[in-house]
């Protein structure tokens, strides 16, 4: 359970990071991107709570850890999403490590729970990668008209709370 407790910290850090990105996007007038990141932060909080609930359901105790301050500035929207993609890849590595531990310890319950996160990380990396590619296509900062259109698309994202586990 210690490794899963550690993962709660990283999921909450992710939420903190994406709130920071949201604030930065607001400050440069990209409200759609800010909306995207606010929703991303909510999803990461939900991930932390999913781990939290799992620990409790297995008779463990959640021990919350300190969370470092995230960055608050990026050179451009492209740089922010490249940072996000890199961060999501690091999260994927942590989830895969948790799965390796579960498999080594023959902890089938944890392995089953972690499969959801492995599938989720595929989506997380795909979303960040797709946005990086779109930003590259529109020319990042130099394609301000297209950046405006992409910002408008980002503002359409809505938060969908996770479905209760069966």
Domain holding 78: CATH number? 1.20.1260.10
pLDDT band at residue 140 under the 50/70/90 scheme: low
Q: Which domain holds residue 115?
A: 2-65+74-154
> Considering the domain boundaries, does residue 111 fall inside one?
yes
State the pTM of this model: 0.86
Rounded Cα–Cα distance for residues 139 and 165 (Å): 41
Is the distance from CB of 9 to CB of 65 less than 8 angstroms? yes
Asked if 59 and 65 touch (Cβ cutoff 8 Å), the reply is: no
pLDDT tens, 16-56? 999 999 999 999 999 999 999 999 999 999 999 999 999 99
Q: How far apart, in whole angstroms, are the C-alpha atoms of residue 162 and residue 117?
A: 12
Task: Name the more confident of 134 and 147.
Answer: 134
Counting the structural domains of the chain, the total is: 1
The reply to whether 160 falls in a domain is: no
The answer to whether residue 163 is domain-embedded is no
164 falls within a domain? no
Measure CA 139 to chain center.
25
Label residue 162 by pLDDT band (50, 70, 90).
Answer: confident
| Per-residue pLDDT band at 143 (split at 50, 70, 90) | low
122 occurs within a structural domain:
yes
Asked whether residue 64 carries a pLDDT value surpassing 80, the answer given is yes
Specify the pLDDT at position 111. 98
Residue 53, domain member (yes or no):
yes
In a domain, 159, yes or no: no
Q: How far is CA 138 from the centre of its chain?
A: 24
pLDDT, position 156: 83
Terminal Cα-to-Cα distance of the chain (whole angstroms): 21
> Is 81 within a domain?
yes
Question: Could you tell me which of 7, 144, 21 has the C-alpha nearest to residue 83?
Answer: 21
Quote the pLDDT of residue 146. 72
Mean pLDDT of 57-67: 96
């Amino acid at each position: 359970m210690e490794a899963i407790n550690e993962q709660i910290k990283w999921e909450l850090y992710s939420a903190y990071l994406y709130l920071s990105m949201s604030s930065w996007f607001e400050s440069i007038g990209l409200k759609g991107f800010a909306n995207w990141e606010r929703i991303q932060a909510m999803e990461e909080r939900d991930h932390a709570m999913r781990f939290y609930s799992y620990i409790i359901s297995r008779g463990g105790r959640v021990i919350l850890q300190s969370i470092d301050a995230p960055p608050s500035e990026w050179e451009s929207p492209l740089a922010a999403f490249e940072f996000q993609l890199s961060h999501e890849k690091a999260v994927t590595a942590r989830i895969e490590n948790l799965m390796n531990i579960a498999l080594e310890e023959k902890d089938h319950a944890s392995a089953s729970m972690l499969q959801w996160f492995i599938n989720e990380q595929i989506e997380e990396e795909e979303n960040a990668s797709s946005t990086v590619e779109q930003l590259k296509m529109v020319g990042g900062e130099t394609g301000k008209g297209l950046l405006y259109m992409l910002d408008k698309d980002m503002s359409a994202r809505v938060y969908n709370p996770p479905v209760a586990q069966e």
